[in-house]
Amino acid sequence: MLRVITWISMKLGRRQARAILHLIAGYFFLFAPTARRSSRAYLTRALGQPARIWQIYHHFLTFAATIHDRIYLLNNRFDLFDIHVHQPEAIDTAIAAGQGALLLGAHLGSFEMLRGVGQRHGGPRVVMVMYEQNARRINAMLSAINPIVEQNIIPPGRMDSMIRVHEQLENGALVGLLGDRLFNKEKVQSIPFLGKPALWPSGPFRMAATLRRPIFFMVGLHTGPGKYEIFFEQLADFTDVERNDREVVLHRAMEKYVSLLDKYCHVAPYNWFNFFDFWQQG
């Protein structure tokens, strides 16, 4: 299906291909009841009122649009996008010093936009820390879109995972992680999100503390057809944090991360792509 959509997108044009997105969104709206219920529950919290049917459909359509945009990003069609980057000086300093940086995102908007911006402007290489099952799915999908695209993925939990992340940072790479999914028996903390406590993994922050690196929040919000707003914000800098102070700094960084997710879910509510009961996970 991805190969068919890719062919239509590249041969017939973006506008014609977007018509397919409505069919895809409609299919999942009709035949994915769990995702539909989860969308309704989330949107009700984010919008502050009971979600309507058209809003749930729009939620699915936004998700389909961000996946569709990957086809063009991975085929270097950056000319089709209007991208605005809001970037603090702290991350510019880290990149300029060749230190690399840890970037913590979420299933909010498009993390793929980061890779696109880096390639477009000749920026640092982007490496993702991702569980192998997800990596296989992503690689299969990206191979269908563009077989020659090189993917840099480091699976966590291995003996050499931390070493590989450290090597990438030393080479000036941007190492991306997602901080809103729980896997296996990770250490978690309960932090309120959209008015109700939820469990959040502390692993990405512990990695930053162990490597003594700064960690930044990153989100690429889809704001319209071909339009994205990318925001960065520093969560913590563990470079000079003493071991006895790490837990306090770590907890504050996690609270800031969740508060930023809360903020941007209100700014762009249809960009949240966790289609399950997020508050019951774990």
Query: Which pLDDT does position 135 carry in this prediction?
Result: 61
| Domains and their CATH numbers in the chain | 2-280 (3.40.1130)
The residue with greater pLDDT, 5 or 263, is 263
Whether 134 has a pLDDT exceeding 90, the answer reads no
Calculate helix-pair angle for 53-74, 2-12, nearest 10 degrees.
Answer: 70
Whether residue 262 contacts residue 106, with contact meaning beta carbons closer than 8 Å, is answered with no
Q: Which residue has the higher pLDDT, 184 or 171?
A: 171
The answer, yes or no, to whether residue 282 has pLDDT greater than 50, is no
| Pairing status of strand 174-178 against strand 126-129 | parallel
Supply the pTM of this predicted model: 0.91
Q: Which residue has the higher pLDDT, 135 or 200?
A: 200
Which pLDDT band holds residue 2 (cuts at 50, 70, 90)? low
Helix residue spans in the chain (DSSP H): 2-12, 14-31, 33-47, 53-74, 89-96, 112-120, 132-145, 161-170, 203-211, 246-267
**pLDDT (0 to 100) of residue 20:** 83
As a whole number, mean pLDDT of residues 126-140 equals 72
